[in-house]
């Protein structure tokens, strides 16, 4: 990752973030304006094209800084991790009322009113942030009411400042979530997305991609003979892959082998992954 990685710095030959003026070359420099994701989640793409690769995803409530709007697309930077890319303009709105709560379960449904017997009007992922304006109680179930009038199960959310103490426990709730390249949600997630989302719920914002995480998270550690010095929460990196230690011998990771978030013994993963990609490149304690 160089000093001006295009994934983390908004600059093109024709346009760039005003904060980079004097550091990069561009025809024009602009001050970005804030906006907020209002869709369930949104793909951040490498180009303004629905066929372009998806680099990451943004969750409902995430804030971005918009540098350009053109032909229905925004060129923007995520506030939480600095990732730069393109997303549809209709997926955002101006920043409004303060967000009060966020989803703390892998997935939860929205309802048009406070009644679970009503047809669902949508769904939200773990980490999505919302503004709660009212409460309701129907047949023994508590509901939280959104500004739209929609309702969700109250026990599925927590105040935005509330965090879990163990990020690994969050990752474990995502077992069997489908693997999705670029995914960062409870509907589909990749290896570094699992690390990022789990740590986010523990109150720690980290960078998005595997190489970024390997270069920035915690400190490098000696895994010891037969990896005997590793412990819960340590990270194991391969070229283009990362896994989380759940104890001294096992990992949890979103992986393309099973196309799911799964647990397996570290030794077995090292043998299997090594066949194609070589052994671990580093071990880090975040």
pLDDT in tens, 3-17: 799 999 999 999 999
Q: What percent of the chain has pLDDT over 90?
A: 98
- Would the pLDDT of 2 be above 50? no
Q: What is the per-residue pLDDT across 104-141, written as a single tens digit (0 to 9) for each?
A: 999 999 999 999 999 999 999 999 999 999 999 999 99
Same fold for the domain at 16-93 and the one at 101-159?
A: yes
Q: Give pLDDT, residue 276.
A: 86
What is the DSSP code (8-state) at residue 221?
-
Q: Give pLDDT, residue 3.
A: 78
Q: Where are the domains of the chain?
A: 16-93, 101-159, 167-285
Q: What is the per-residue pLDDT across 190-209, written as a single tens digit (0 to 9) for each?
A: 999 999 999 999 999 999 99
Average pLDDT over residues 238-247: 98
CB 46 within 8 A of CB 56: no
- CA 245 – CA 234 distance, rounded (Å): 5
Yes or no: domain 167-285 corresponds to CATH 3.20.20.70: no
- CA 139 – CA 255 distance, rounded (Å): 41
Say which CATH topology domain 16-93 has: SH3 type barrels. (2.30.30)
Q: Give pLDDT, residue 48.
A: 98
Yes or no: domain 101-159 corresponds to CATH 2.30.30.40: yes
Q: What is the per-residue pLDDT across 214-229, written as a single tens digit (0 to 9) for each?
A: 999 999 999 999 999 9
CB 59 within 8 A of CB 127: yes
Reported as half-sphere exposure (CB side, CA atoms, 13 A), residue 88 has a value of: 9
Whether the pTM exceeds 0.85: the reply is yes
- CA 125 – CA 200 distance, rounded (Å): 13
Q: What percent of the chain has pLDDT over 70?
A: 99
Average pLDDT over residues 80-104: 97
């Amino acid at each position: 990752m160089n000093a001006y990685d295009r994934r983390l710095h908004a600059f093109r030959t024709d346009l760039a973030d005003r904060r980079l003026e004097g550091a990069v070359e561009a025809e024009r420099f602009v001050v970005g304006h804030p906006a907020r994701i209002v869709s369930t989640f949104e793909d951040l793409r490498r180009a303004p094209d629905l066929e372009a690769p998806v680099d990451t995803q943004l969750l409902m409530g995430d804030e971005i800084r918009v540098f350009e709007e053109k032909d229905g697309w925004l060129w923007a930077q995520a506030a939480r991790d600095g990732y730069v890319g393109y997303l549809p303009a209709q997926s955002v709105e101006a920043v409004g009322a303060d967000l009060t709560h966020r989803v703390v379960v892998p997935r939860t449904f929205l309802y048009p009113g406070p009644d679970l017997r009503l047809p669902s009007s949508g769904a939200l992922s773990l980490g999505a942030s919302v503004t709660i304006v009212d409460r309701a109680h129907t047949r023994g179930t508590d509901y939280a009411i959104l500004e739209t009038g929609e309702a969700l199960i109250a026990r599925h959310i927590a105040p935005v400042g509330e965090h879990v103490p163990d990020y690994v426990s969050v990752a474990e709730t995502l077992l069997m979530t489908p693997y999705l390249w670029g995914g960062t949600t409870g509907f589909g997630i990749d290896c570094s997305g699992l690390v990022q989302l789990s740590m986010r719920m523990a109150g720690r914002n980290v960078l998005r991609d595997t190489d970024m995480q390997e270069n920035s998270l915690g400190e490098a550690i000696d895994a010891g003979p037969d990896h005997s010095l590793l412990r819960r929460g340590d990270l194991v990196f391969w070229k283009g892959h990362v896994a989380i230690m759940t104890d001294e011998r096992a990992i949890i990771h979103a992986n393309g082998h099973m196309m799911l978030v799964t647990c397996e013994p570290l030794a077995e993963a090292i043998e299997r992954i090594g066949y194609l990609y070589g052994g671990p490149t580093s071990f880090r304690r975040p």
